[in-house]
Chain A
Amino acid sequence: MNADRRPALKPVSESVGPIAAMAAVFARDVRVAFRQRQDLLNPLLFFIMVVTLFPLGVSPEVAFLKQSGAGILWVAALLSVLLSTLEQLVLQPQPLFLLVLAKTAAHWVLTGLPLVLLAPVLGVMVHLDGNSIAILCLTLLIGTPVLSMIGAIGAALTLGLRSAGVLLSLLIIPLYIPVLIFGTGTVAAAAEGAPVGGYLALMGAFLVLAVTLSPFASAAALRISLSNS
Protein backbone atom coordinates (compact mmCIF):
# COMPACT_ATOMS: atom_id res chain seq x y z
CA MET A 1 0.00 0.00 0.00
CA ASN A 2 2.78 2.36 0.93
CA ALA A 3 4.63 1.56 -2.27
CA ASP A 4 1.85 3.19 -4.26
CA ARG A 5 2.47 6.47 -2.47
CA ARG A 6 6.09 6.66 -3.55
CA PRO A 7 6.80 10.03 -5.19
CA ALA A 8 7.22 9.89 -8.97
CA LEU A 9 10.14 11.43 -10.81
CA LYS A 10 8.90 14.15 -13.14
CA PRO A 11 11.28 15.59 -15.73
CA VAL A 12 11.25 19.39 -15.72
CA SER A 13 13.08 21.69 -18.10
CA GLU A 14 16.30 23.10 -16.67
CA SER A 15 15.48 26.50 -18.11
CA VAL A 16 12.71 27.16 -15.55
CA GLY A 17 14.03 29.66 -12.99
CA PRO A 18 13.79 28.98 -9.24
CA ILE A 19 11.08 31.55 -8.49
CA ALA A 20 8.99 30.33 -11.39
CA ALA A 21 9.44 26.77 -10.15
CA MET A 22 8.33 27.78 -6.64
CA ALA A 23 5.27 29.54 -8.01
CA ALA A 24 4.47 26.52 -10.16
CA VAL A 25 4.74 24.12 -7.22
CA PHE A 26 2.60 26.41 -5.06
CA ALA A 27 -0.07 26.84 -7.72
CA ARG A 28 -0.11 23.14 -8.54
CA ASP A 29 -0.56 22.13 -4.92
CA VAL A 30 -3.41 24.59 -4.40
CA ARG A 31 -5.07 23.50 -7.65
CA VAL A 32 -4.80 19.81 -6.80
CA ALA A 33 -6.13 20.43 -3.30
CA PHE A 34 -9.12 22.29 -4.66
CA ARG A 35 -10.03 19.32 -6.84
CA GLN A 36 -10.81 17.40 -3.63
CA ARG A 37 -12.44 20.35 -1.86
CA GLN A 38 -14.02 17.99 0.63
CA ASP A 39 -10.58 17.08 2.02
CA LEU A 40 -9.81 20.72 2.81
CA LEU A 41 -12.68 20.76 5.28
CA ASN A 42 -11.29 17.88 7.30
CA PRO A 43 -8.67 19.75 9.35
CA LEU A 44 -11.24 22.49 10.06
CA LEU A 45 -13.83 19.99 11.24
CA PHE A 46 -11.16 18.34 13.37
CA PHE A 47 -10.30 21.73 14.85
CA ILE A 48 -13.92 22.40 15.77
CA MET A 49 -14.47 18.93 17.18
CA VAL A 50 -11.37 18.93 19.37
CA VAL A 51 -12.28 22.34 20.80
CA THR A 52 -15.75 20.97 21.53
CA LEU A 53 -14.32 18.03 23.46
CA PHE A 54 -12.90 20.24 26.18
CA PRO A 55 -16.04 21.95 27.50
CA LEU A 56 -17.80 18.59 27.31
CA GLY A 57 -15.03 16.50 28.78
CA VAL A 58 -13.56 18.87 31.35
CA SER A 59 -15.89 21.68 32.36
CA PRO A 60 -18.33 24.03 30.62
CA GLU A 61 -17.90 26.62 33.38
CA VAL A 62 -17.38 30.07 31.95
CA ALA A 63 -14.54 30.80 34.35
CA PHE A 64 -12.65 27.68 33.31
CA LEU A 65 -13.17 28.29 29.61
CA LYS A 66 -12.12 31.91 29.83
CA GLN A 67 -8.90 30.83 31.45
CA SER A 68 -8.12 27.77 29.32
CA GLY A 69 -9.79 28.75 26.07
CA ALA A 70 -6.74 30.16 24.36
CA GLY A 71 -4.68 27.10 25.27
CA ILE A 72 -7.40 24.74 24.09
CA LEU A 73 -7.62 26.50 20.75
CA TRP A 74 -3.87 26.44 20.33
CA VAL A 75 -3.61 22.72 21.11
CA ALA A 76 -6.47 21.96 18.74
CA ALA A 77 -4.87 24.04 15.99
CA LEU A 78 -1.55 22.28 16.59
CA LEU A 79 -3.13 18.85 16.27
CA SER A 80 -5.03 19.85 13.13
CA VAL A 81 -1.87 21.04 11.41
CA LEU A 82 -0.04 17.91 12.54
CA LEU A 83 -2.68 15.65 11.06
CA SER A 84 -2.72 17.20 7.61
CA THR A 85 0.67 15.93 6.53
CA LEU A 86 2.47 16.62 3.30
CA GLU A 87 2.23 13.96 0.63
CA GLN A 88 3.49 13.22 -2.83
CA LEU A 89 6.65 15.22 -2.64
CA VAL A 90 8.17 15.35 -6.08
CA LEU A 91 11.86 15.61 -6.88
CA GLN A 92 12.77 18.37 -9.32
CA PRO A 93 16.15 19.50 -10.71
CA GLN A 94 15.75 22.78 -8.82
CA PRO A 95 17.07 23.80 -5.44
CA LEU A 96 15.01 21.54 -3.22
CA PHE A 97 15.01 24.17 -0.47
CA LEU A 98 12.81 26.51 -2.50
CA LEU A 99 10.43 23.78 -3.58
CA VAL A 100 9.96 22.58 -0.02
CA LEU A 101 9.35 26.18 1.01
CA ALA A 102 6.71 26.54 -1.72
CA LYS A 103 5.04 23.27 -0.80
CA THR A 104 4.95 24.18 2.89
CA ALA A 105 3.55 27.61 2.04
CA ALA A 106 0.79 25.93 0.06
CA HIS A 107 0.13 23.57 2.96
CA TRP A 108 -0.14 26.49 5.36
CA VAL A 109 -2.47 28.47 3.10
CA LEU A 110 -4.71 25.40 2.80
CA THR A 111 -4.62 24.34 6.47
CA GLY A 112 -3.15 26.89 8.87
CA LEU A 113 -4.73 30.00 7.41
CA PRO A 114 -8.29 28.59 7.56
CA LEU A 115 -7.67 27.69 11.20
CA VAL A 116 -6.66 31.28 11.92
CA LEU A 117 -9.81 32.53 10.18
CA LEU A 118 -12.01 30.09 12.11
CA ALA A 119 -10.40 30.84 15.48
CA PRO A 120 -12.51 33.92 16.32
CA VAL A 121 -15.71 31.88 16.05
CA LEU A 122 -14.36 29.22 18.38
CA GLY A 123 -12.93 31.92 20.63
CA VAL A 124 -16.43 33.20 21.20
CA MET A 125 -17.56 29.65 21.99
CA VAL A 126 -14.96 29.42 24.77
CA HIS A 127 -15.96 32.80 26.17
CA LEU A 128 -12.76 34.66 25.32
CA ASP A 129 -13.03 38.45 25.28
CA GLY A 130 -12.34 40.49 22.14
CA ASN A 131 -8.78 41.49 23.04
CA SER A 132 -7.81 37.90 23.83
CA ILE A 133 -9.31 36.67 20.56
CA ALA A 134 -7.35 39.28 18.61
CA ILE A 135 -4.06 38.33 20.27
CA LEU A 136 -4.88 34.63 19.91
CA CYS A 137 -5.44 35.03 16.17
CA LEU A 138 -2.21 36.97 15.86
CA THR A 139 -0.24 34.25 17.65
CA LEU A 140 -1.90 31.58 15.50
CA LEU A 141 -1.11 33.58 12.38
CA ILE A 142 2.57 33.70 13.30
CA GLY A 143 2.71 30.25 14.89
CA THR A 144 0.86 27.98 12.44
CA PRO A 145 3.42 28.56 9.63
CA VAL A 146 6.11 27.47 12.11
CA LEU A 147 4.06 24.34 12.84
CA SER A 148 3.68 23.65 9.11
CA MET A 149 7.40 24.01 8.54
CA ILE A 150 8.39 21.77 11.44
CA GLY A 151 5.71 19.31 10.33
CA ALA A 152 7.32 19.27 6.89
CA ILE A 153 10.56 18.00 8.43
CA GLY A 154 8.70 15.19 10.13
CA ALA A 155 6.73 14.32 7.01
CA ALA A 156 9.91 14.16 4.94
CA LEU A 157 11.64 11.95 7.55
CA THR A 158 8.76 9.48 7.80
CA LEU A 159 7.91 9.39 4.10
CA GLY A 160 6.68 5.95 3.10
CA LEU A 161 7.32 4.32 6.47
CA ARG A 162 4.76 2.01 8.03
CA SER A 163 2.73 3.66 10.83
CA ALA A 164 4.17 6.93 9.58
CA GLY A 165 1.35 8.95 11.13
CA VAL A 166 1.99 7.95 14.73
CA LEU A 167 5.76 8.13 14.26
CA LEU A 168 5.40 11.59 12.76
CA SER A 169 3.44 12.74 15.81
CA LEU A 170 6.06 11.30 18.18
CA LEU A 171 8.88 13.06 16.37
CA ILE A 172 7.21 16.40 15.85
CA ILE A 173 5.28 17.11 19.05
CA PRO A 174 8.43 17.69 21.19
CA LEU A 175 9.50 20.28 18.64
CA TYR A 176 6.03 21.88 18.72
CA ILE A 177 6.04 22.36 22.49
CA PRO A 178 8.08 25.61 22.62
CA VAL A 179 5.83 27.20 19.97
CA LEU A 180 2.76 26.17 21.97
CA ILE A 181 4.21 27.53 25.21
CA PHE A 182 5.00 30.91 23.70
CA GLY A 183 1.78 31.13 21.71
CA THR A 184 -0.43 30.57 24.72
CA GLY A 185 1.92 32.58 26.95
CA THR A 186 1.31 35.61 24.74
CA VAL A 187 -2.45 35.34 25.12
CA ALA A 188 -2.13 34.78 28.88
CA ALA A 189 0.03 37.88 29.18
CA ALA A 190 -2.46 39.90 27.15
CA ALA A 191 -5.31 38.71 29.38
CA GLU A 192 -3.42 39.99 32.42
CA GLY A 193 -2.74 43.31 30.73
CA ALA A 194 1.01 42.74 30.51
CA PRO A 195 2.91 43.93 27.39
CA VAL A 196 3.03 41.33 24.64
CA GLY A 197 5.66 42.93 22.41
CA GLY A 198 8.42 40.67 23.68
CA TYR A 199 6.39 37.50 23.25
CA LEU A 200 5.37 38.45 19.73
CA ALA A 201 8.97 39.27 18.87
CA LEU A 202 10.02 35.81 20.08
CA MET A 203 7.31 34.16 18.01
CA GLY A 204 8.45 36.21 15.04
CA ALA A 205 11.96 34.91 15.69
CA PHE A 206 10.62 31.34 15.64
CA LEU A 207 8.96 32.07 12.31
CA VAL A 208 12.13 33.51 10.79
CA LEU A 209 14.19 30.56 12.06
CA ALA A 210 11.65 28.06 10.76
CA VAL A 211 11.40 29.65 7.32
CA THR A 212 15.16 29.93 6.88
CA LEU A 213 16.39 26.68 8.45
CA SER A 214 13.65 24.06 8.35
CA PRO A 215 13.54 23.74 4.52
CA PHE A 216 17.18 22.61 4.70
CA ALA A 217 16.27 19.89 7.15
CA SER A 218 13.19 18.93 5.11
CA ALA A 219 15.17 18.81 1.88
CA ALA A 220 17.89 16.70 3.49
CA ALA A 221 15.27 14.38 4.98
CA LEU A 222 13.53 14.15 1.58
CA ARG A 223 16.73 13.10 -0.13
CA ILE A 224 17.34 10.47 2.52
CA SER A 225 13.79 9.13 2.31
CA LEU A 226 13.82 9.03 -1.48
CA SER A 227 17.19 7.30 -1.61
CA ASN A 228 15.66 4.70 0.69
CA SER A 229 13.01 3.73 -1.87
Chain B
Amino acid sequence: MVLRDCNPVYAVVAGDRYHSAPCRPGLGLAFAPKDYLQGNSYRIIFIHVPTAFLAQSIYIMMASAAVVTLVWRMKLADVFVKAVAPVGLVFTFLSLFTGAVWGKPTWGTWWVWDARLTSMLILLFLYGGAIALDRAINDEKSAARAVAVLVLVGVVNIPIIKYSVEWWNTLHQPATFKLTEKPSMPVEMWVPLLLSVLGLYLLFGWLACLRMKTEIVMREQKTRWVRELVMAGRG
Protein backbone atom coordinates (compact mmCIF):
# COMPACT_ATOMS: atom_id res chain seq x y z
CA MET B 1 0.00 0.00 0.00
CA VAL B 2 2.87 2.29 0.73
CA LEU B 3 4.11 1.89 -2.81
CA ARG B 4 0.78 2.78 -4.37
CA ASP B 5 0.16 5.73 -2.03
CA CYS B 6 3.52 7.22 -2.97
CA ASN B 7 2.40 7.90 -6.53
CA PRO B 8 0.19 10.96 -5.92
CA VAL B 9 3.09 12.42 -3.94
CA TYR B 10 5.30 11.81 -6.96
CA ALA B 11 2.95 13.83 -9.17
CA VAL B 12 2.96 16.82 -6.85
CA VAL B 13 6.64 16.63 -6.05
CA ALA B 14 8.12 15.93 -9.43
CA GLY B 15 5.69 18.12 -11.29
CA ASP B 16 5.35 18.49 -15.01
CA ARG B 17 8.28 19.14 -17.31
CA TYR B 18 8.22 22.94 -17.16
CA HIS B 19 7.64 23.51 -13.48
CA SER B 20 9.56 20.58 -12.10
CA ALA B 21 11.80 20.85 -9.08
CA PRO B 22 15.12 20.66 -10.93
CA CYS B 23 14.11 23.66 -13.03
CA ARG B 24 14.11 25.98 -10.07
CA PRO B 25 17.86 26.22 -9.44
CA GLY B 26 18.08 26.67 -13.21
CA LEU B 27 15.90 29.79 -12.95
CA GLY B 28 18.30 31.34 -10.53
CA LEU B 29 21.38 30.35 -12.44
CA ALA B 30 20.08 31.72 -15.73
CA PHE B 31 17.83 34.69 -15.03
CA ALA B 32 18.95 36.47 -11.86
CA PRO B 33 20.84 39.72 -12.46
CA LYS B 34 24.61 40.18 -12.02
CA ASP B 35 25.82 41.02 -8.52
CA TYR B 36 27.41 44.50 -8.21
CA LEU B 37 30.51 43.20 -6.47
CA GLN B 38 30.95 39.60 -7.56
CA GLY B 39 29.63 39.74 -11.11
CA ASN B 40 28.44 36.37 -12.28
CA SER B 41 30.47 34.19 -9.95
CA TYR B 42 27.93 34.59 -7.13
CA ARG B 43 25.42 32.48 -9.09
CA ILE B 44 26.74 29.39 -7.43
CA ILE B 45 24.72 30.58 -4.44
CA PHE B 46 21.70 29.01 -6.13
CA ILE B 47 23.27 25.61 -5.61
CA HIS B 48 25.30 26.30 -2.48
CA VAL B 49 22.52 27.69 -0.28
CA PRO B 50 19.86 25.09 -1.11
CA THR B 51 22.27 22.18 -0.59
CA ALA B 52 23.46 23.66 2.71
CA PHE B 53 19.87 24.24 3.88
CA LEU B 54 18.91 20.72 2.94
CA ALA B 55 22.02 19.19 4.52
CA GLN B 56 21.01 20.55 7.91
CA SER B 57 17.28 19.96 7.39
CA ILE B 58 17.82 16.35 6.46
CA TYR B 59 19.81 15.77 9.63
CA ILE B 60 17.01 17.27 11.72
CA MET B 61 14.49 15.06 9.90
CA MET B 62 16.70 12.06 10.61
CA ALA B 63 16.88 13.04 14.27
CA SER B 64 13.07 13.28 14.45
CA ALA B 65 12.79 9.88 12.78
CA ALA B 66 15.35 8.59 15.29
CA VAL B 67 13.11 9.69 18.13
CA VAL B 68 10.20 7.87 16.49
CA THR B 69 12.34 4.74 16.14
CA LEU B 70 13.43 4.74 19.76
CA VAL B 71 10.13 5.74 21.34
CA TRP B 72 7.44 4.22 19.11
CA ARG B 73 9.53 1.57 17.29
CA MET B 74 7.87 2.36 13.94
CA LYS B 75 9.74 0.60 11.15
CA LEU B 76 9.02 3.29 8.57
CA ALA B 77 11.14 5.70 10.59
CA ASP B 78 14.11 3.30 10.32
CA VAL B 79 13.52 3.03 6.58
CA PHE B 80 13.53 6.82 6.33
CA VAL B 81 16.81 7.22 8.20
CA LYS B 82 18.56 4.52 6.20
CA ALA B 83 17.24 5.84 2.88
CA VAL B 84 17.98 9.47 3.54
CA ALA B 85 21.42 9.39 5.19
CA PRO B 86 23.36 9.00 1.91
CA VAL B 87 21.32 11.84 0.38
CA GLY B 88 22.26 14.06 3.31
CA LEU B 89 25.89 13.05 2.91
CA VAL B 90 25.89 14.02 -0.77
CA PHE B 91 24.14 17.35 -0.12
CA THR B 92 26.60 18.23 2.64
CA PHE B 93 29.50 17.37 0.37
CA LEU B 94 27.99 19.46 -2.45
CA SER B 95 27.51 22.45 -0.19
CA LEU B 96 31.12 22.22 1.00
CA PHE B 97 32.36 21.75 -2.57
CA THR B 98 30.33 24.60 -4.08
CA GLY B 99 31.33 26.73 -1.12
CA ALA B 100 35.00 26.03 -1.81
CA VAL B 101 34.54 26.79 -5.51
CA TRP B 102 32.83 30.06 -4.58
CA GLY B 103 35.38 30.91 -1.91
CA LYS B 104 38.43 30.68 -4.13
CA PRO B 105 37.65 33.73 -6.35
CA THR B 106 35.86 35.73 -3.65
CA TRP B 107 37.74 35.02 -0.40
CA GLY B 108 40.99 34.02 -2.08
CA THR B 109 41.03 30.58 -0.47
CA TRP B 110 39.45 27.16 -1.01
CA TRP B 111 39.01 26.57 2.68
CA VAL B 112 39.18 28.35 6.01
CA TRP B 113 38.79 26.78 9.44
CA ASP B 114 36.04 29.07 10.62
CA ALA B 115 33.05 28.00 12.70
CA ARG B 116 30.53 27.54 9.88
CA LEU B 117 32.76 25.50 7.58
CA THR B 118 34.19 23.39 10.40
CA SER B 119 30.77 22.55 11.80
CA MET B 120 29.51 21.62 8.31
CA LEU B 121 32.54 19.36 7.95
CA ILE B 122 31.60 17.75 11.27
CA LEU B 123 28.10 17.25 9.82
CA LEU B 124 29.66 15.42 6.88
CA PHE B 125 31.50 13.13 9.31
CA LEU B 126 28.31 12.57 11.32
CA TYR B 127 26.45 11.43 8.20
CA GLY B 128 29.38 9.16 7.30
CA GLY B 129 29.42 7.73 10.81
CA ALA B 130 25.69 6.94 10.71
CA ILE B 131 26.08 5.13 7.38
CA ALA B 132 29.18 3.24 8.60
CA LEU B 133 27.47 2.11 11.80
CA ASP B 134 24.41 0.93 9.89
CA ARG B 135 26.61 -1.17 7.61
CA ALA B 136 28.60 -2.62 10.51
CA ILE B 137 25.65 -4.13 12.39
CA ASN B 138 24.12 -7.20 10.80
CA ASP B 139 20.78 -7.32 12.57
CA GLU B 140 18.40 -4.82 10.97
CA LYS B 141 16.49 -3.84 14.09
CA SER B 142 19.59 -3.33 16.24
CA ALA B 143 21.26 -1.40 13.45
CA ALA B 144 18.26 0.91 13.18
CA ARG B 145 18.19 1.60 16.90
CA ALA B 146 21.98 2.05 17.19
CA VAL B 147 21.96 4.53 14.30
CA ALA B 148 19.03 6.32 15.95
CA VAL B 149 21.05 6.77 19.15
CA LEU B 150 24.06 8.01 17.19
CA VAL B 151 22.00 10.48 15.13
CA LEU B 152 20.42 11.90 18.29
CA VAL B 153 23.82 12.33 19.96
CA GLY B 154 25.06 14.20 16.88
CA VAL B 155 22.08 16.55 16.62
CA VAL B 156 23.92 18.82 19.08
CA ASN B 157 25.94 19.96 16.06
CA ILE B 158 22.97 21.49 14.24
CA PRO B 159 22.46 24.53 16.51
CA ILE B 160 26.24 25.00 16.40
CA ILE B 161 26.11 25.20 12.60
CA LYS B 162 23.11 27.48 12.54
CA TYR B 163 24.30 29.95 15.13
CA SER B 164 28.02 29.72 14.31
CA VAL B 165 27.89 32.86 12.18
CA GLU B 166 26.24 34.75 15.04
CA TRP B 167 28.35 33.48 17.91
CA TRP B 168 31.74 33.81 16.25
CA ASN B 169 33.32 36.43 14.06
CA THR B 170 33.59 34.22 11.00
CA LEU B 171 34.56 34.67 7.39
CA HIS B 172 31.30 33.06 6.24
CA GLN B 173 28.54 35.65 5.96
CA PRO B 174 25.43 35.69 8.18
CA ALA B 175 22.05 34.33 7.13
CA THR B 176 20.18 36.02 4.30
CA PHE B 177 16.75 34.73 5.18
CA LYS B 178 15.54 35.60 8.63
CA LEU B 179 12.03 34.95 9.83
CA THR B 180 11.43 38.46 11.15
CA GLU B 181 13.40 40.75 8.84
CA LYS B 182 13.49 41.54 5.14
CA PRO B 183 16.19 39.67 3.25
CA SER B 184 19.33 41.67 2.67
CA MET B 185 19.22 40.82 -1.07
CA PRO B 186 17.25 42.49 -3.86
CA VAL B 187 14.01 40.83 -4.92
CA GLU B 188 15.36 39.60 -8.23
CA MET B 189 17.92 37.58 -6.32
CA TRP B 190 16.19 36.30 -3.24
CA VAL B 191 13.06 35.11 -5.05
CA PRO B 192 15.02 32.72 -7.29
CA LEU B 193 17.05 31.72 -4.24
CA LEU B 194 13.92 30.88 -2.29
CA LEU B 195 12.53 29.01 -5.28
CA SER B 196 15.80 27.08 -5.56
CA VAL B 197 15.59 26.10 -1.91
CA LEU B 198 11.96 25.01 -2.27
CA GLY B 199 12.80 23.19 -5.48
CA LEU B 200 15.57 21.26 -3.80
CA TYR B 201 13.27 20.35 -0.91
CA LEU B 202 10.83 18.92 -3.45
CA LEU B 203 13.65 17.08 -5.20
CA PHE B 204 14.67 15.67 -1.84
CA GLY B 205 11.07 14.59 -1.17
CA TRP B 206 11.05 12.71 -4.44
CA LEU B 207 14.44 11.11 -3.76
CA ALA B 208 13.36 10.14 -0.26
CA CYS B 209 10.17 8.49 -1.55
CA LEU B 210 12.11 6.65 -4.25
CA ARG B 211 14.81 5.43 -1.90
CA MET B 212 12.31 4.45 0.79
CA LYS B 213 10.38 2.42 -1.76
CA THR B 214 13.55 0.60 -2.73
CA GLU B 215 14.50 0.00 0.90
CA ILE B 216 11.06 -1.40 1.75
CA VAL B 217 11.12 -3.75 -1.23
CA MET B 218 14.63 -4.90 -0.22
CA ARG B 219 13.55 -5.55 3.36
CA GLU B 220 10.40 -7.40 2.42
CA GLN B 221 11.93 -9.28 -0.48
CA LYS B 222 10.85 -12.66 0.84
CA THR B 223 7.16 -11.76 1.10
CA ARG B 224 4.50 -12.73 -1.42
CA TRP B 225 3.47 -9.21 -2.37
CA VAL B 226 7.02 -8.29 -3.37
CA ARG B 227 7.40 -11.44 -5.42
CA GLU B 228 4.12 -10.69 -7.18
CA LEU B 229 5.26 -7.12 -7.79
CA VAL B 230 8.52 -8.29 -9.32
CA MET B 231 6.75 -10.87 -11.46
CA ALA B 232 4.23 -8.27 -12.64
CA GLY B 233 7.08 -5.94 -13.50
CA ARG B 234 8.79 -8.59 -15.59
CA GLY B 235 5.62 -9.56 -17.45
Contact = CB atoms under 8 A, between A and B. Distances in A.
Given A167-B136, A175-B154, A217-B153, A224 B129 contact: no
Interface stretch (B52-60, B118-126, B207-215): B118-126
A157 B132 contact: no
A170 B152 CA distance: 16
A177 B4 CA distance: 44
Contacts of A170: 125, 128-129, 132
B70 A220 contact: yes
Nearest to B153: A217
B122 A177 contact: yes
Contacts of B150: 157, 171
Interface in B114-163: 118, 122, 125-126, 128-129, 132-133, 136-137, 139, 142, 145-146, 149-150, 152-154, 156-157, 160
Nearest to B143: A228
B132 A171 contact: yes
A224 B126 contact: no
Nearest to B122: A174
A152 B142 CA distance: 18
A163 interface: yes
The B interface, classified by DSSP as helix, strand, loop or mixed, is: helix
Interface residues of B, number: 23
Nearest to B139: A228
B125 A174 contact: yes
Interface size class of A (residues with CB under 8 A): 20 to 34
B129 A174 contact: yes
Given A158-B136, A220-B70, A221-B149, A228 B142 contact: yes
A163 B136 contact: yes
A176 to B, nearest CB: 10
A178 interface: yes
A150 B139 CA distance: 24
Contact of B146 (A173, A214, A224): A224
A153 interface: yes
Contacts of A175: 153-154, 156
